[in-house]
Amino acid sequence: MIKKFISRVFGRGAKQAAHPSKPAVYGPDKHHIHKDHISRGARKTCEELQRAGHTAYVVGGAVRDLLLGRQPKDFDVATSAHPDEVRSLFRRSRIIGRRFQIVHVMWGAETVEVSTYRAHFTTKDPEAEEDADGADRQDEHGRVLSDNVFGTQAEDAVRRDFTVNALFYDPVKEEVWDFQHGVKDLIAKKLVMIGDPATRYREDPVRMLRAARLSAKLGLAIESKTAAPIASLKHLLENVPQARLFEEILKMLLSGNAVACVQRLRELELHHGLLPLLDDALEDPATGPFAMAALKATDDRLREDKPVSPAFLLAALLWGRVERRWHELEEKGQPSTPSLHSAMHDALDAQRGSLAIPRRFDATMKELWLLQPRFLQRGGTRPFRLLEHPRFRAAYDFFELRAQAGNASVEIAQWWERFQEAGGDERERMLHADEGPKKKKRRRRGGKRRPDDGGSPEEVAPGADE
């Protein structure tokens, strides 16, 4: 429907210019974006910049999303004004960044990111391989390390990644400016890299992940020439700083289209080796369905505007590894709780060797994992203590999702659902009187474990609630 609408409107639109420096300009009658669709802050920023004699447009993802009839996440502005000129026009603004400066303009709670048109870095000019301050601009693989040359609006379009991301919207004249056939590609539902795709991936390997994410989010097919070099260049992702890689992966997982993103990653074979977190999570037959269920549950929650926790999702993706290692150690005769502790550390360490999950997520992930065996204990006072645990709700959701995906007992998950809602008397009746305390006594008395109780998750000591 959207396709029809856009092609109907744009079909009679401005002629696409033959030269990339001459844009196709679509007037207000040729598209359905209205200035009211633009956030107040972005609109006022453009108006003010234009009043001061500069050109200024809403740019990138927001224009693309509006043409597709979607609500943009944020509105970025691109302008001919230099950062200090932008800064001097807006009282509530500040310059961000050292090498490539952008300006944050604040309007109430909204912050608008304003960048000056930038030229695309090209390796053709050997003089250009160093910045004015002498710093290297590319690494040995062609990855661009800095990118801070001001340019024209047409150059700013060319340095963007995909044609559909290189559209500008003027909220004063209500015109769409298209230098790179972005509108045509949007109508054809194609994601097309600007320029030579291999070179563009070398400059910034993260563009491979962006191709997967944006095609999944927008329902666009990755054009064949754009997809082709990925197979031979995916190893370049190894050179990308871990923090940037993690940020991009998190964007995918929390995009509301995580399932579709992962599917695209698999089609492009980008989840292999380089992203062991996903590789391992999805291909493990025992826990793969659980990892997928967690991705789906996250998508669903985002669709319903419910909050999601990245730590929960990461814990779910790593659970396969943790569980496998836990049982391996138990089978070697190690008691259950210490085995689980070692397994958690091993899983996190192995993960750090590839894609580092920031340590701020560790505590929550560990807590969710450590609480899992405690759902198996339904005797004595232990269920009451678990219920009072501050992380009970998240841990229960985790257990319940495992049960749904065949990774934990459905009967136990249902028991806990009832137990939470039951009154005092019913709770007492529900308790499994024979569990836990007896084993506790046995351990206290003998010290030595019987060979057959080493592997039972019911064995997790009450002390596991630290």
Partner from Mg ion, ligand ATP, none binding residue 400, C-beta < 5-8 Å depending on class: none
Nearer residue to Mg ion within complex by CB, 61 or 373: 61
State yes or no: is 161 an active-site residue.
Answer: yes
DSSP state of 219: T
Nearer residue to ligand ATP within complex by CB, 115 or 339: 115
Partner from Mg ion, ligand ATP, none binding residue 185, C-beta < 5-8 Å depending on class: none
Nearer residue to Mg ion within complex by CB, 23 or 61: 61
Q: Helices then strands (H, E): number in the chain?
A: 22, 10
Structure-block tokens of residue 308:
């999601």
- d(CA 455, CA 466) in angstroms, rounded, equals 21
Nearer residue to ligand ATP within complex by CB, 186 or 401: 186
* The Cα angle at residue 64 between residues 58 and 68, in degrees rounded to 5: 130
Partner from Mg ion, ligand ATP, none binding residue 124, C-beta < 5-8 Å depending on class: none
Identity of residue 197: P
Q: For the chain, first and last CA: distance in Å?
A: 55
User: What dihedral do alpha carbons 163, 164, 168, 169 form, nearest 10°?
Assistant: 160
- d(CA 114, CA 81) in angstroms, rounded, equals 9
Q: Which of 272, 373, 253, 257 is nearest to 319 (CA)?
A: 373
- Write down the residue that tokens 């701020």 correspond to: 360
Nearer residue to Mg ion within complex by CB, 71 or 388: 71
- SS3 state of residue 57: strand
Residue 368 Cβ, how far from Mg ion at the closest point, in Å?
A: 31
Return phi, psi of residue 162, to 5°: -110, 155
- Write down the residue that tokens 């590839």 correspond to: 354
Cα 391 from chain centroid (whole Å): 24
Residue 268 Cβ, how far from ligand ATP at the closest point, in Å?
A: 16
> Per the residue annotation, which of 74, 284, 346, 453 is the catalytic one?
74
- Spatial contact of 314 and 364, defined as CB atoms under 8 Å apart: no
Q: Which of 61, 142, 182, 457 binds Mg ion (CB under 5 A)?
A: 61
> Per the residue annotation, which of 65, 76, 170, 178 is the catalytic one?
76
CB atoms within 10 A of CB 455: 18
Partner from Mg ion, ligand ATP, none binding residue 323, C-beta < 5-8 Å depending on class: none
Return phi, psi of residue 65, to 5°: -65, -40
> Per the residue annotation, which of 161, 185, 279, 280 is the catalytic one?
161
Residue 167 Cβ, how far from ligand ATP at the closest point, in Å?
A: 9
Structure-block tokens of residue 34:
């209205």
Residue 39 Cβ, how far from Mg ion at the closest point, in Å?
A: 12
Asked whether the CA dihedral 32, 34, 40, 44 is positive or negative, the reply is positive
Partner from Mg ion, ligand ATP, none binding residue 23, C-beta < 5-8 Å depending on class: none
- d(CA 385, CA 302) in angstroms, rounded, equals 31
Binding range to Mg ion, per CB under 5 A, among 22-30, 56-64, 179-187, 349-357: 56-64
Cα distances (Å, whole numbers) of residue 106 to 76, 95, 300 = 12, 12, 32
Residue 103 Cβ, how far from ligand ATP at the closest point, in Å?
A: 15
Partner from Mg ion, ligand ATP, none binding residue 223, C-beta < 5-8 Å depending on class: none
Residue 461 Cβ, how far from ligand ATP at the closest point, in Å?
A: 46
Partner from Mg ion, ligand ATP, none binding residue 30, C-beta < 5-8 Å depending on class: none
Residue 435 Cβ, how far from ligand ATP at the closest point, in Å?
A: 49
Q: Which of 321, 320, 338 is nearest to 329 (CA)?
A: 338
Nearer residue to ligand ATP within complex by CB, 184 or 439: 184
Binding range to Mg ion, per CB under 5 A, among 58-66, 173-181, 218-226, 371-379: 58-66
Nearer residue to Mg ion within complex by CB, 56 or 347: 56
Residues that bind ligand ATP (CB under 6 A): 60-61, 73, 76, 160-161, 165, 204, 206-207, 210
Partner from ligand ATP, Mg ion, none binding residue 407, C-beta < 5-8 Å depending on class: none
- Spatial contact of 226 and 191, defined as CB atoms under 8 Å apart: yes
Indicate the residue whose CB is closest to Mg ion.
61
Instruction: Name, in order, each residue with C-beta under 8 angstroms of 267's C-beta and a sequence gap of 6 or more.
Output: none
State yes or no: is 299 an active-site residue.
Answer: no
CB-based burial label for 195 (10 Å; 0-12, 13-18, 19+): middle
Nearer residue to ligand ATP within complex by CB, 6 or 405: 6
Residue 214 Cβ, how far from ligand ATP at the closest point, in Å?
A: 6
Residue positions annotated with a catalytic role: 74, 76, 161
Q: Would you tell me which residues interact with Mg ion (CB under 5 A)?
A: 61
